[in-house]
Amino acid sequence: MTDERLPLYQRLRDDMLAKIASGEWSPGIAIPTEAELTKQYGVAVGTLRRAVDTLVQDGLMERSQGRGTFIRRPNFDGSLFRFFRQVDPQGGRRVPTGEVLSRSLESADETVAGALALPLGADVICLERVRQIDGRNVYYEDIWLPYRPFAALLDIAPEDFGNLLYPFYESECGQLIGAARETLTVEMADDRIANILGIESGKPVVVIERLATGYDGGPLEYRQSRGDAQTFRYQVNIS
């Protein structure tokens, strides 16, 4: 376990996170039982439960009555569509599909390097991606990934990327996304973005910046998604 200055339950929590990040414990799979873990770590059951409680509260694990405690797989793609709503002529909700247009090796600029905690100019993999409904582009995305963990993606043709990227990162690179933080802003579409989205230049677009991290908290993906502001709807339930 790490950093002896930390409380025992927190060191235990960090060790569990390391098992998830390394793939030893996989999302959707139950972790060992309390009896097994207390024996493995040599700790009291109360300490173990406190460590697991923090991971449950953080949304990284979930308990299932009578079945055990499981590594939770977050639904990140669902978060975008809480904000952007697309409907068909009958009012039915539509979920866009994703298509990677290109992938390339680039040098990180100040923004990307800062987001991914990399040195300025470090190698990063850049994905250019659109999301479509009936062949029409409704979102445009720039995605940056640190080179070393995702190097295998450079050997994969853009058309062979999956519709959902996070399961693809996991299957092809062994990288698990555990959490993400999103920031929403508005800007005016330049000629390039306007052409991609099929709107007039100068029209407002919503920009969603997402920083996705691994289960160990390290940054794994920085993404900018842009969509027509006229399709943007913000909804939150307050209780």
Amino acid at 159: E
**Do 156 and 127 fall within a single domain?**
yes
**Do 168 and 91 fall within a single domain?**
yes
Q: Where among 71, 99, 119 does a domain terminate?
A: 71
- Please give the residue range of the domain that contains residue 54: 8-71
Q: What are phi and psi of 131, to 5 degrees?
A: -115, 135
Sign of the alpha-carbon torsion through 102, 103, 108, 112: positive
What is the C-alpha to C-alpha distance for residues 4 and 12, in angstroms, rounded to an integer?
Answer: 11
Q: Write down the pLDDT at residue 226.
A: 95
What is the C-alpha to C-alpha distance for residues 229 and 84, in angstroms, rounded to an integer?
Answer: 9
**Do 88 and 59 fall within a single domain?**
no
What is the C-alpha to C-alpha distance for residues 118 and 148, in angstroms, rounded to an integer?
Answer: 11
Dihedral angle over CA of 165, 167, 172, 178, nearest 10: 100
pTM: 0.77
Is residue 238 situated within a structural domain?
Answer: no
**Do 128 and 210 fall within a single domain?**
yes
Q: Write down the pLDDT at residue 230.
A: 84
For residue 141, the surrounding DSSP H or E stretch is strand 136-146
- Assign residue 95 the CATH number of its domain: 3.40.1410.10
What is the C-alpha to C-alpha distance for residues 189 and 206, in angstroms, rounded to an integer?
Answer: 9
What is the C-alpha to C-alpha distance for residues 146 and 126, in angstroms, rounded to an integer?
Answer: 9
Is residue 222 situated within a structural domain?
Answer: yes
For residue 150, the surrounding DSSP H or E stretch is helix 147-150
Q: Write down the pLDDT at residue 86.
A: 58
List the chain residues with pLDDT less than 50. Answer: none
Total structural domains within the chain? 2
Q: Write down the pLDDT at residue 225.
A: 94
